[in-house]
């Protein structure tokens, strides 16, 4: 091999190696998602423009919120028109936990709409205080969610619960609400694990991923400002929600552990940011770096 051929050969290797290393060390980048709650304020101002920018930044799928509201349905339609996948959505969980409340759709109708739109996952995004007041309340909540999960399975949809930090607060004899969920959730009821809130709740994300394994349907990736005291079961200041790579949570090892656990989707999320579009761009750039 002469010098010119050698230079050409080695320069080709230089181009290929970073791509190979990135793919092997950081999974999910080929289908990385974004929880659109991050962009709720830009969406209110200009839904179409905001989604177009999300696609241009490089997100491959999105997870809407508030399903089946008219806005959520429009988010699904326009996201797909832009080439982004929509597999999952947060939905009106009162349809399961407080069906007597007026104004909401019955869970059966929500499932019909989700099935028609070919969603594979619905996620309970939060709990009112009455549904998490004590261990007995958590048990009642688990029972109701299990019934919903059984209904969802018949529609080929997975039902999951998205954690915050309050589930990890020790209650009676040190037992937590999340302990109840882990023990009482049926095989049809899944977890959407938010690594930020695990950390805030005093739980190591990788340890929890290994514990739950294939009971996890999806992962939320968000970073926590360095120096934030943990655990904290109360209200947080907006500035502790950080861009991925700037905070204290090492995200790439978590994503690798998620792949080993069989987690299907990972979504970037940042609950608060003064410039959310800039934030999601910065977070994705770090993951791609």
Please report the pLDDT score of residue 5 as a whole number.
42
What percentage of the chain reaches a pLDDT higher than 70?
A: 92
pLDDT value at residue 11: 41
If one counts the domains in the chain, the total is 1
Q: Does the pLDDT of residue 21 top 90, yes or no?
A: no
Parent domain of 55: 29-288
pLDDT in tens, 255-280: 999 999 999 999 999 999 999 999 99
pLDDT of residue 61: 98
Q: Residue 247: inside a domain, yes or no? A: yes
- Would you say residue 282 lies in a domain? yes
6 vs 157, residue with greater confidence: 157
pLDDT the model gives residue 248: 98
- Tens-digit pLDDT profile for residues 160-195: 999 999 999 999 999 999 999 999 999 999 999 999
> Regarding beta strands 241-242 and 223-224, do their DSSP bridges make them parallel or antiparallel, or are they unpaired?
antiparallel
DSSP structure class, residue 206: H
The mean pLDDT of the chain is: 93
pLDDT tens digit sequence for 224-235: 999 999 999 999
37 domain residue, yes or no: yes
What pLDDT score was predicted for residue 207?
98
- 3 domain residue, yes or no: no
Q: pLDDT digit string (tens) for 48-101?
A: 999 999 999 999 999 999 999 999 999 999 999 999 999 999 999 999 999 998
17: confidence class by pLDDT, cuts 50, 70, 90:
very low
Asked whether residue 11 is domain-assigned, the answer is no
Are the C-beta atoms of residues 131 and 101 closer than 8 Å to each other? no
pLDDT-derived band of residue 22, with 50, 70 and 90 as boundaries? Answer: very low
Strands, E, within 222-286: which ranges? 223-224, 241-242, 265-268
| CATH code, domain carrying 159 | 3.20.20.150
pLDDT band at 206 (very low <50, low <70, confident <90, very high): very high
| Banded model confidence at residue 102, pLDDT cuts 50, 70, 90 | confident
What's the confidence (pLDDT) of residue 4? Answer: 41
Please check whether residue 2 lies inside any domain of the structure: no
Question: With bands split at pLDDT 50, 70 and 90, how would you rate the model's confidence at 9?
Answer: very low
**What is residue 215's predicted lDDT score, i.e. its pLDDT?**
98
Question: How far separated are the first and last CA of the chain, in Å rounded?
Answer: 34
Both tokens assigned to 21: 């290393």
pLDDT band at 8 (very low <50, low <70, confident <90, very high): very low
**CA-to-CA distance for 80 and 263, rounded, in angstroms?**
22
For 213, half-sphere exposure in the C-beta direction (CA atoms, 13 angstrom radius) is 3
- Residue 82: CB atoms within 10 A of its CB come to 16
pLDDT of the residue at 23: 45
The answer to the question of residue 21 being in a domain is no
Looking at residue 87, its pLDDT comes to 98
The pLDDT, as a whole number, for residue 101 is 86
Residue 13 lies in a domain: no
């Amino acid at each position: 091999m002469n010098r010119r051929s050698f230079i050409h050969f080695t320069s080709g290797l230089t181009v290929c190696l970073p791509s190979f290393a990135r793919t092997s060390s950081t999974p999910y980048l080929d289908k990385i998602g974004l929880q659109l709650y991050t962009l709720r304020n830009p969406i209110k101002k200009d839904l179409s423009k905001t989604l177009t920018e999300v696609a241009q930044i490089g997100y491959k799928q999105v997870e809407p919120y508030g399903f089946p509201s008219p806005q959520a349905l429009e988010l699904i339609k326009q996201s797909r028109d832009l080439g982004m996948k929509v597999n999952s959505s947060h939905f009106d969980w009162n349809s399961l936990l407080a069906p007597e409340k007026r104004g909401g759709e019955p869970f059966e109708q929500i499932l019909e709409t989700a099935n028609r739109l070919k969603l594979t996952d619905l996620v309970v995004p939060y709990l009112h205080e009455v549904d998490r007041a004590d261990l007995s309340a958590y048990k009642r909540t688990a029972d109701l969610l299990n019934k919903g999960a059984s209904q969802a399975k018949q529609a080929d949809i997975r039902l999951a619960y998205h954690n915050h930090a309050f589930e990890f607060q020790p209650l009676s004899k040190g037992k937590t609400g999340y302990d109840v969920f882990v023990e009482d959730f049926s095989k049809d009821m899944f977890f959407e694990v938010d690594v930020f809130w695990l950390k805030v709740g005093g739980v190591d994300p990788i340890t929890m991923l290994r514990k739950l394994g294939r009971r996890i349907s999806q992962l939320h990736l968000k970073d926590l400002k360095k120096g934030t005291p943990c655990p904290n079961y109360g209200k947080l200041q907006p500035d502790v929600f950080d861009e991925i790579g700037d905070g204290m949570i090492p995200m790439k090892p978590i994503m690798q552990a998620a792949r080993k656990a069989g987690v299907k989707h990972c979504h970037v999320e940042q609950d608060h940011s003064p410039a959310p579009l800039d934030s999601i761009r910065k977070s994705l750039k770090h993951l791609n770096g």
